Every structure is written in structure tokens, then in C-alpha cells.
Chain A
Amino acid sequence: MSSTSGATTSASKPASTRAKPANKGEAAVDWVDGRLGIYTLAKSNLRKIFPDHWSFMLGEICLYSFVIIILTGVYLTLFFKPSMAEVVYHGPYTPLEGIRMSEAYASTMNISFEIRGGLLIRQIHHWAALVFVAAMLVHMMRVFFTGAFRKPREINWVFGFLLLVLGMFDGFFGYSLPDDLLSGTGIRFMEGAILAVPIVGTYIQMFLFGGQFPGTDIVPRFFTIHVLLIPGIMLGLLVAHLILVFYHKHTQWAGPGKTEKNVVGMPLMPVYMAKAGGFFFLVFGVISAISAIATINPIWAYGPYRPDQVSTDAQPDWYMGFSEGLIRVMPGWEISVWGGHTLNLGVMIPLAIFPMVLVAIAVYPFIEGWITGDKREHHILDRPRNAPVRTALGAAWISLYLVLLVGGGNDLFATHFHLSLNSITYFVRVGFFVVPVVVFFITKRWCLGLQRRDKEKVLHGRESGIIKRLPHGEFVEVHTPLAAKDLHTLTAHDQPQPVELPAETDENGVARKAGVLAKTRAKLSEGFYGEGAQIAKPTAEEFREIESGHGHH
């Protein structure tokens, strides 16, 4: 560090050694480079390679819908009044003429019926929010099922997870703002859930609401959280997430010419600038069109919030639906502890399972890393079938999530499929425990079946559909041998072996006792990679034996 400080200007006339700029544009960029060092930055990034695959663009849908949400959200803040002061409505929407409502609700009515384009922007904002969280979930599933979360990307996985959770909650705070009958019911639920927290519940409730429910503070406070606090944190996480994507370089599928040491694809400049940049406009365009054709959150139809009114079909937006399911199917357990204090388990247990469902998926990379003991970097993606246990766990998680969504919409399932509300609830109570287990085993077997088929294909080639009669009269189907690239692609995956318990005695013959943790790990590892968890991939010997052995079939 100290060696550079000696090199000071020696020439009398400070002259740049740089070549003369060819035109004004270059000159301008030179000027910026002199201040920001952008040439060095661009050197490694301008022709950065991105591999082509549709599933790699799911993250971009998230990014772009986030940008759309920010753009439209800023517009909405110009007109929205986060105030619970009471006003009497005298606007163009006559079915609410003369009705008392909060200013928050009245200003949302104003946005919807008096600001030209206000309704459109509101709908874009809300549709983009639904798509944002949906895309994050699907993006996360893509990363999960392909093993893209493995070293070195575990931290980025956690960033992504935090973005998902924050996105869900910011959505909740956002749809609570208009103070309509539906969102007020949601806030009421939140109040009840907070009250169920042992010891400090009532204090948190009073502090959050500035007094008793509903009070007049909750909408302004949610507003700040919704437009400033959470988006600020999300923006930071998002930037970190993207920097890491650039830094790690994108993962890629196995294939000819693709290795752990390279990334094959098209350069950022120009192909991905056009594709990714264009994709932003495509996403924005699609969401605008949806907002032109479908209503979302018609607050005018719900009416303003009053704590003594309610409408059936009181559900949160879809991403909170699984927590709604947990709450709905929980039996009403309430117990008395510590000399007459009430513990509302009927609310507390779902409230505890809710984060656990999410955390289970958040910590998975670390658990898998620990079980497998794999310390290598991974840049080639796993095909889901080649990691049957992981795939089965992921499928089980999704099935649990879906079962809970059914629970959250049990009243609509009841009316639209002519079922009994109570039966659906009983089904979800049982399904919560049973369905994921069943799905786990089915998925695992399915993956193994697909692995067998791959093996078959490598060894015997593709079925050509052509029947051939052998000289002795036997009919056989001709199999077309696979091309070299396909042979490589289908056999490129790793097949890790289960970790073994250390030997019972060490090299000096002293007995060594394996701890419970080590034993558990060995067991789990056996479950992940042991017999019955993967089909040994074809070896070169097997391949050659069949090639040379009994002919071409």
C-alpha cells in the first residue's frame, strides 16, 4: 500500500497518457471514467456471458415487477392520504353516497374514480404485487430443484428468501392501507394474532395500534412501513442479490462444452441488453394489459371498514393464503397456565408453524451441505431427477403449501365444489401430515424411474420405432444410438456416495465413539445417496460391452 504513495506528479505539465478520444461520445465517457473508473468496471462486465434458458428468466420477472411496483407506487403516494380521519363520502360513486369512511378509503376511491388513469395504476400496482410474489416463489423453486443454491450461492439464497418474506409482508401492509372492509378484517386478524402472543401480546397490540383496535394510527404507521421501511430494506437486498449473481456468474445446465470452470452463453452487450432490457418492457406490457382487463381489489364494492361488519370470502391475498389455511384448520385449543393466564394455542401454534414452513426451505442449503459434506463449488445444475431426495423434499413442501392453500380457501372450495366446509377442514387437518409424506415417496420413486430411463437411453439408444426381423425370425426394435453430446449430457452428473461413519477405532487402535450428530448425519446421508436413493449411472465399460456385445438393439 505504501509503495504507491511515493509516485507523485513529477512532470511540470500534468498530461494524460491516454489516447485522444475518437469522438465527443468517447470524450464524455473518458471524463466519467476519470472520476468513476467505469472502464475497469465495464471491462469484466460488458461482455459478461449469460446462459440461455427460460427458467433463468424467472428472477428477472421478480426484478421487473418490483420496479413496476416502485414506479406505480410512487404515483399512488401522490394521491393517497394515509389518514384515518373520518369523512363523509360525496363522490361520483353513488352507492357510497353519504357513507362515513376514513380519508384513506376516500382517497383510494378518489384514485379509482376521479384521477384519470388512477384506477389503472392502482390495478397495475396490485397485479404486479401478486405476480411479484408468485414469481419469487417459482424462481425459488427453480433454484431449489436444480440445486443452484449450493456453494458458493448459499448466502444469495438467503437474500432471496428474505426478499420473498419481506415481499409477502409488504404486500400485506399494502393491501391493508385502503381501510376497506376486507383489509380491515385482515388487520383485525393481525390484532387477534398479536393478542395471542404470551406475556407481551397486549402491550405489542397497544403500542402498534396506538391504543385499542382499530384506533387511528394503524394506517399511517403501515403506510410508512409499506412505502419506506420494507421497500428500503428490499432494495438493499435486491442490489446485493444482483451483485452476487454477477459475481458468481450464472449457473448452467450440463451439456457439450459446459463445465464447472466455464459459463457458456451470449454476451450482455448486446444480446442480453436487448433480451433482458426488452423483457422488462414485456413484463410491464403484460401486467398493464391484465390491469386493463381484470379488476383487482374492488374496494368500492367492499365498502369502508367497520369493526362490526364483515363479508364472507374474507381471505388475504394469495401469498398469505397458506397462513390463512393454518389458522382455519387449527383446532380451538386454549389453555390456562400460571395461575389463570390464558394461552391461546389455537392461534399461537399456527403462528409458530407459519415461519417454520418458510424457514424450513430457507435453511435447506445448509442442511444439505452438512449432510453431504460437499465443500466443492457447483456451477452445473442438477436435473431434479438426479437428486431424488432433494426433489422429493421440495415436492413435499409444495404439497404442504398447496394443502394449506386449500385450507385457506375452504369456504370457496365448499361452495364451488358442493362440499361440506367441515369435511374440507377435516381433510386439511389430516392432509397436513399425510399428503407431504405420500408426495415425498411418489416423487422419489418417479425420479428413480426417470434415472432408469436415462440409463436405458444411454446404454441402448433411443427407440426409433422401426421393427427389424432378425435372420432367425425374431423381431426387434431398432434403437438409435445417442449422439456424443447427448451421451455426455445424460452422464455428466455427479453421484455422491453417502458419508461414512469414522472407523470404530482410530489408527492407534483406540476405540472412538461416534456422536449422535455424526450418526444422524451418516443416516441422513445414506438416505440421500445410499442404495435406493439413486440409480448408478452407466459406466463406460457397461456401454462398451453392450455396444460390442449383442448387436444394435
Chain B
Amino acid sequence: MKKLSARRRHPLAALVVLLLALAATGGLYAAFAPAEKAQADTSAQSLAIDEGKKLFAVGCSSCHGLNGQGSSDGPSLVGVGSAAVDFQVGTGRMPAQQPGAQVPSKKNIYSQTQIDQMAAFVASLGPGPVIPTEEQYTATDANAVAKGGELFRTNCAQCHNFAGQGGALTKGKYAPSLDGVDPKHIYEAMQTGPQNMPSFPDTTMPEEQKKQIVAFVRHTTNDEPNPGGLALGSLGPVTEGLFGWIFGLGALIAVAIWVAAHTTKAKKS
């Protein structure tokens, strides 16, 4: 709350409040407007695009240009689709804070409605991957986890590690850990290929398989127990070696010191 009040006097505060209000109404309308009414839908859509455009002008245009055409600081967003916006803004990667090898995920500062509006605006610039619906990334297949695991090991584990813990890429870049990532965002990342991640479009990896991969990632990062005890970060032999040295050999040397030490004498000499 303190943070919020401190920002009250920000030059853009009024604009943000206005946008929030507009977004709330527009978003609510867009969300609840009956889908079968094509007329209303279109107008809701265009309203969302307008709102999105305003949000975009404030938060994104300094790098991506007012019409998403891109600049030296950011790529063109024509044709990236609403899924890319939902992923980038929803995981807090965009707006980016500072240049670096890679833009990290951080706390998302927009509401889902605002993200949807910006997504609608960017989607209007050119056709691209669309934000998936929940059934698109929720597997119903009983054996989805096993199938997803096989696909994950073929397509994903090389960068994100066998348990989705992430890994290093060149020159300070990295594949992030998939711990706690929203299933929707996992799906969108595969669909759009954010930053240096390649995309896995429906043409080469059908929706059903993405679902299975999402199911596997959810399972391995959330539900999977570690029957053997501490997972040690699921990073393979390096952490095992470290643990073995410190707690294995370390404990044994401590024991050895006790075994070999002279027993305390009755009289201190």
C-alpha cells in the first residue's frame, strides 16, 4: 500500500487510473459480452484494441514503436500474436527493465484485463498465435504425463534440464527454470518462442502434444515426489558430489576426529 501511495504523484498516475478504469469497464464488457452476438463482440474487440493501444503507447512504444513496428531497442511485434504479449507481459518479462543478455521474468505489473487489451492491440497488427483457452493446455489424456515426458526429453530437456530446472545458454543467456510457471505461459512459450527460445508451432507440434508437455512439466515441477529424499535441486551429479563431500565425507571426518581423539583426562594438564 505504501508503494502505491508513493506513486500517487507520479506524472502518469492520472493516466494509469484512467486506463485502469477504462480497462476495467472494457475488460469486463469484453469478458461478459455474449460471444454469439457478433456485432457486440466486434465492438468489444475494437474497444479492447483501442484501450490496448493506449496501454501500449505508455508501456511498450518507447522500444517497439507506437505501432509496434519495432526500433533499434526492440523488435517489431507485427505478427507475434496475442499469445506472445500474454506471455511476455504476464510473466513480467515485458516491459523490460534494463538491457542485458536476457530479459528476466519479474513481477507482473498489469492486470489480466490490461494484458488482454494490449494483446488484442498487438494481434490487430498482424495475424499470429492466439492466447490459448484453458482446455487447450489442460490435458485429459490419462497417459499425458508419460507422453509429455517423452516429448519433453526430445524437445525441451536439452535446455530446461530433465526436471525443468533450467540451464545455461551462451554468453550469460539461460533457459529459465519451469518451477511454478503458469501452464498457460508454458503453452504460450512453446507457441511463440520468446527471446532465444525456438518456437514449436502447431504445424510441427500439435496442440495435443503441447498439452502433454504442459502436463509433464506440471507433474515434474509440482506433483512429483522425490522418493529417495532431498532432490538436491534436480541438477544431476554436480550437486550430488557437493553433498557427498560436505555431508558424507564431512560427517565421516567429524566422526573420525571423535574416534581418534584422546579421552579427556580427569585432571586438566
Chain A interface (Cβ within 8 Å of chain B)? 52-54, 56-58, 60-61, 94-99, 112-113, 119, 123, 127, 130-131, 134-135, 138, 181-182, 275, 278-279, 282-283, 286-287, 290-298, 301-303, 306, 308-319, 321, 409-412, 414-415, 418-423
Contacts and interface: CB of A to CB of B under 8 A. Distances in A.
Given A415-B174, A420-B101, A295 B232 contact: yes
B203 interface: no
B253 A318 contact: no
Interface in B99-125: 101
B248 A134 contact: yes
A7 B235 CA distance: 73
Nearest to B240: A296
A135 B161 CA distance: 30
A58 B149 contact: no
Interface string B242-261: 11110111011101110111
Contacts of A287: 248
A349 to B, nearest CB: 23
Interface stretch (B19-27, B78-86, B181-189, B218-226): B218-226
A157 B230 CA distance: 37
Given A123-B228, A181-B162, A306-B153, A422 B171 contact: yes
Max chain B CB contacts within 10 Å: which of A53, A54, A293, A419?
A: A54
Contacts of A308: 154
Contacts, number: 209
B170 interface: yes
A57 B240 CA distance: 24
A249 B144 CA distance: 64
A98 B237 contact: no
Contacts of B260: 52-54, 56-57, 275
A444 to B, nearest CB: 26
A315 B149 contact: no
Nearest to A318: B241
Contacts of A61: 249, 252-253, 256
Contacts of A303: 149-150, 153, 157, 162
A420 B171 contact: yes
Nearest to A126: B240
A422 B146 contact: no
- Among A130, A283, A294, the most chain B Cβ lie within 10 Å of the Cβ of A294
A181 B230 CA distance: 21
Interface string B61-104: 00000000000000000000000000000000000000001000
6 contacts: A54-B260, A119-B227, A294-B232, A301-B162, A301-B163, A418-B172
A58 B174 CA distance: 40
Contacts of B252: 61, 131, 135, 282-283, 286
B229 interface: yes
B84 to A, nearest CB: 25
A129 to B, nearest CB: 9
Interface residues of B, number: 62
A182 B256 contact: no
Nearest to B260: A54
Contacts of A412: 168, 235, 238-239
B244 A57 contact: no
A529 B163 CA distance: 55
A311 B161 contact: yes
A291 B240 CA distance: 12
Contacts of B255: 279, 282-283, 286
Given A54-B256, A303-B149, A293 B229 contact: yes
A409 to B, nearest CB: 5
A53 B261 CA distance: 7
A286 B247 CA distance: 9
Contact of A95 (B146, B154, B174, B245): B146
B226 A298 contact: yes
A421 B244 contact: no
Contact of B229 (A96, A275, A294, A314): A294
A138 B162 CA distance: 32
A414 to B, nearest CB: 4
A208 B149 CA distance: 31
B249 A131 contact: yes
Given A112-B227, A301-B162, A58 B253 contact: yes
A268 to B, nearest CB: 15
A96 B153 contact: no
A321 B238 contact: yes
Contacts of B154: 306, 308-309
B117 to A, nearest CB: 34
Most buried by A among B229, B240, B241, B243: B241
Contacts of A135: 249, 252
Interface in B127-151: 143, 145-147, 149-150
Contacts of A318: 237-238, 240-242, 244-245
A411 B216 CA distance: 24
Nearest to A96: B146
Nearest to A290: B248
Nearest to B156: A311
A383 to B, nearest CB: 17
Contacts of A57: 256, 259-260
Contacts of B170: 420-422
Contacts of A291: 228-229
B201 interface: no
Contacts of B160: 312
Contacts of B241: 130, 317-319, 321
A331 to B, nearest CB: 16
B241 to A, nearest CB: 3
Given A275-B259, A422-B170, A134 B249 contact: yes
Nearest to A60: B256
Contacts of B230: 293-295
B261 to A, nearest CB: 7
A469 B226 CA distance: 68
Contacts of B42: none
B159 interface: yes
A517 B236 CA distance: 48
10 A-B pairs with least C-beta separation: A318-B241, A312-B167, A295-B228, A130-B244, A311-B162, A411-B168, A420-B172, A414-B168, A57-B256, A311-B157
